[in-house]
Amino acid sequence: MFAKHSEEGFLSPIEGIKMKTLVYGEKSLLTRFHLKKGSSLPSHSHPHEQTGFLVSGRMTLYIGQKGFDVEPGDSWCVPGGVAHRAEVAEDSVAIEVFSPVREEYLPRD
């Protein structure tokens, strides 16, 4: 699968957070997130392992009970089944990979 860059096709599952699945395969899925300053990603967990990279901005990411001040260039891995949340301090862009594929993140045609 190949995808050209486009600013179209973003979804807003939570106020202040936009997301777009970029590409996916049989075992993994790549998603781009635009996070607005002051927004929050509530605590949640899912069975998927989640690895991420902060392209721009700043946020505090909580994995389990531990908080991390995340800056551009930082990366993380959240094991499946572990609660996590985020508080966005600046407009931010993050790229995340989920494995296995999150079916609910697949593009709807």
DSSP assignment of 43-69, as one string? EE--SSEEEEEEEES-EEEEETTEEEE
Whether the per-residue pLDDT at 109 is higher than 80: the answer is: no
- Is this model's pTM higher than 0.75 or not? yes
pLDDT, greater one: 25 or 107? 25
For all residues of the chain together, what is the average pLDDT?
Answer: 96
Position 16: which residue type? Answer: G
With the CA atoms of 34, 66, 30 and 42 taken in that order, what torsion angle do they form, in degrees rounded to the nearest 10? -50
Three-state DSSP class for 39? coil
Give 108 or 43, the one with higher predicted confidence. Answer: 43
Per-residue model confidence as pLDDT tens digits over 62-96 = 999 999 999 999 999 999 999 999 999 999 999 99
pLDDT for 108 equals 79
Residue type for position 42: P
Backbone dihedral region of 57: left (phi > 0), alpha (psi from -120 to 50 degrees) or beta?
left
CB neighbours of residue 72 within 10 Å: 14
Instruction: Please give the pLDDT value at position 107.
Output: 85
User: For the chain, which domains are there?
Assistant: 11-102 (2.60.120.10)
The percent of residues above 90 in pLDDT, for the chain, comes to: 96
> Residue 29 — very low, low, confident or very high, per pLDDT cuts 50/70/90?
very high
Peptide bond into 47 cis (omega under 30): no
